[in-house]
Structure 1
Amino acid sequence: MTRVLHVLDHSLPMHSGYTFRTRAILKAQEALGLEVRGVTGQRHTAPTPADPEVVDGLTFYRAGGASGGLPLVREWSEVTALADRIVKLAREWRPDVLHAHSPALCGLAALKAGRKLGIPVVYEIRAFWEDAAVGNGTGREGSAKYWLTRVLENDVVSGADHVVTICEGLRTDLIARGFPPEKLSIMPNGVDLDLFGDPLPRDAALAAELGLGEGPVIGFLGSFYPYEGLDDLIAAMPAIVARVPAARLLLVGGGPAEADLRAQAQASPVADAIRFVGRVPHHEVDRYYSLVDVVCYPRKAMRLTDLVTPLKPLEAMAQGKLVSASDVGGHRELIRHGQTGTLFPPDDPVGLAAALSELLGTPQSWNAQREVARDFVRSSHDWALNVRRYLPVYQALLPNHRMPAIAA
């Protein structure tokens, strides 16, 4: 049986889009007959992490220690600790391939360990982390840190035996940097339909508790970062309510932009139509999805949003929800306007309001759009099917190892 060791920034039991994608990949690979384990670096900060630790039936190992010290020295210390833990684990468990996931520090640790062990390395890029830092407000495009991160990313891509990206935008950008297309493949974001494929009926008691009335309800469930564009959605609500008086906005989650968004909503002339719920336990997210008719993703136009496809719209489609989103590159890879969702101009509250008002005013079209979107997820973004794309990558690196037989 082929063994794959996944090298990770952090993992379950921490909750994030990163950990949920990791869980889906590892579970789907196990179902295909691969033997998988994960190892995390010092940025895994769950309280009292065990080593090893079994979470949801998956086994994770920890580098241990704390991340700290001066910049560059701190990062190199993290890489060294993670590489040492990989080597120690690999000598016990003997994986056939190291599969590192961004950020580049994980890739660098995997390359360092892989060279010592003679094990091939696959590096998977979920986002360019210099762009992610700009998006969440912790970095500035063009700064020394930005370019240093980009150089490190390029070094890891050069050193890896194969590179996987989550979407065409990232792959195209790497080709433009001069990397050969044959070294690059795509593993798109997906949905575990065992978790998201059976939506709950509308929770009438919760709707009454939140004062949502009969709706329709526009919703956003996720992290409140500035690049998500929730300020544009709040700014669009007066025009939406003017055309659809019963419309309500439900915002579930939290993050760096939350205080500013709450203040903006409180000052809105339609403040009574906007509800903030805060963060909710992961196992209760389905209850809030059940209240929403249209899930809206008004991301700002920038490198991050143009290059990276988000996971949330796919989860919403699987839940049988209408999806509306700004017309940026990452959304266009997932949403066909008028078929699987509705696109509107980014950074434009007026255009957003017009598009959502038109959608809310044509409920006769909703069922057909929902079904097209769910069929799209089932056919193109089901983890159980998509994870098979890894097999030829591993096979090319491990010619003497037999991959699991896959039924047609």
Structure 2
Amino acid sequence: MQVEDLRVALFTGNYNYVRDGANQALNRLVGYLLGQGAAVRIYSPCIDTPAFPPTGDLVGVPALPLPGRAEYRAPLMIPPSVKRDIRAFQPNLFHVASPEILGHRAVTLGRKQGLPVVASVHTRFETYPRYYGLTFLEPILEAALRRFYRRCDAIFAPSESMAQLLREQRMNYDVGIWSRGVERDIFSPAARDLAWRRGYGIGDDETVVGFVGRLVMEKGLDVFSDAIDKLEQRGVKHRVLVVGEGPARDWFERRLPNAVFVGFQKGHDLGRAVASCDMLFNPSVTETFGNVTLEAMAAGLPVVAAIATGSQSLVEDNVTGRLVRPGAIAQFADALQHFCENKDARAAAGAAGRVASERFGWDAVNQVLVDAYLRVIRQRAEHREPPAQRPR
């Protein structure tokens, strides 16, 4: 089988109605597949005013607003009309991108039809309860995720650190890597714009600590704020620039009254905002890769990040930035203070990050997944039972 023989049915809880790193990666994957001659059909909730146009043919599935996070949709089922559409499309592979009701139903349908099913892992859902006072739910969620992923022929993580965690959690016995790329024409030191900074009242000589991402508690906003408090208590000169939107914006603005909030940015505007910072601070432990970390590195910024999946596969401690134990406020503050007060250290780490980012190209990482698709289909054609289903 060749890539042009692929007929991929992609199921995801969010393809384009809210912009995030996961669905932008999926849209890039679909564009690459279509460009290589493959056929793809996407099944996902839809809204009247999505964040961006979908790449490829998108078929809507029934969904309701997610309680407490109304900007997201919770898929309800695969209705008969969509099942007919899937049969008419005649896929030879199911790709499931989110472990909710739609994902579960897709795995069941794929196995019923004797088709190979793969899943991509985009976030650490089992860590979310800790940000809402529900830590006791984490083992339950992890067990539910294990049941879901073990029904797939193979699963794919965006970083080696995440893949290793999935192996340790026994999520599946076939764990591969589908990494992420970076748009080097957008994320570059050349995009730095001091005039743009001045427009927000930031002086040319001020050192800017940047936060980039959706403003939700699971991104570590509490840790970020506490570390910034430490800098202020120590009298370390700095400014905070927050790039992004989300339901926790009001909380974050109250918590950081001196920060500059520039809202959601995209494309070259996002590249300018990132490059106009002097460092990125990413304390999140929920990412499986960390697109913003890679983008900051491509823009020549040092990164201070938590020792967590994703970041620890990108940031080399004391070379391209600093890696700190999750939640260690004083240590985060130490790392930020180091870069705030040492211009040469910022320049050296930023230059090293720029070089390290060069190995991440979208076509190359997507081709790795395409090769894995073909391998999984070949294994199924040879009547090999998925490793997770073998008797133990």
TM-score, reference length from structure 2: 0.81
**1:93 is matched with which residue?**
89
State the match for 1:10 in structure 2. 14
Quote the residue 2:225 is aligned against. Answer: 231
Letter aligned with residue 94 of structure 1: Q
The AA in structure 1 aligned to 2:196 is L
Change (3 A) 1:48 1:92: farther
Structure 2: runs of 5+ lacking an equivalent? 68-72, 382-392
CA-CA distance at 1:121 after TM superposition: 0.8
CA drift of 1:328 comes to 3.5
Deviation at 1:288, TM superposition (A): 1.7
Aligned with 2:270 (options 275, 285, 293)? 285
% same residue: 21
Residue 141 (str. 1) matches residue 135 (str. 2): yes
Q: Deviations over 1:74-95 (max 9, x none)?
A: x9981343xx455322222222
Larger displacement relative to structure 2 (309-318 or 251-260) = 251-260
**2: CA distance, partners of 1:211 / 1:68:** 38
Helix, strand or coil for the counterpart of 2:191?
coil
- 1:212 matched residue in structure 2: 202
Give the equivalent residue in structure 1 for 2:373.
394
Per-residue CA shift, 1:179-232, capped at 9, x if unaligned? 563x221223x1242563445533333212211001221111212233412212
Aligned residue among 53, 57, 60 for 1:59: 57
Match of 1:249 in 2: 240
Per mean C-alpha deviation after superposition, the further-off stretch among 20-29 and 341-350 is 341-350
1:229-278 per-residue CA deviation (whole Å, 9 max, x = no partner) reads 221233133156x34x3x21111223344333322333xxxx4xx32333
> Please, what TM-score do these two structures have when normalized by structure 1?
0.78
Gaps of 5+ in 1: 70-74, 403-408
Most deviating of 14-23 and 29-38:
29-38
2:151 corresponds to? 159
Q: Is the 8 A contact 1:9 1:101 kept in 2?
A: yes
Cα deviation, residue 322, structure 1 = 2.2
Give the RMSD, CA atoms, in angstroms. Answer: 3.3
Cα separation, 2, equivalents of 1:218 and 1:131: 25
Counterparts of 1:367 and 1:339 in 2: how far apart (Å)? Answer: 11
> Moved runs in structure 1, 4+ residues, more than 6 A?
none
The one of 358, 362, 375 equivalent to 2:338 is 358
Q: Whole-Å Cα distance in 2 between the matches of residues 165 and 398 of structure 1?
A: 19
Q: Deviations over 1:332-383 (max 9, x none)?
A: 222111222222444344322322222233323444433322232221x322
Deviations 1:30-56 (A, max 9, x none): 34443333211xxx353267xxxx935
1:200 and 1:37 map into 2 onto residues whose CA distance is 38
- Maintained 8 Å contact 2:61/2:77: no
Q: Is the 8 Å Cα contact of residues 122 and 161 (structure 1) preserved in structure 2? A: yes
Any conservation in 1 of the 2:278–2:302 contact (CA below 8 Å)? yes
**In structure 1, C-alpha distance between the alignment counterparts of 2:116 and 2:76, rounded to whole Å:** 21
Per-residue Cα deviation, 1:50-79 (whole angstroms, up to 9, x for no partner): xxxx9354321111454699xxxxx99813
1:344 & 1:149 partners in 2: Cα distance?
Answer: 26
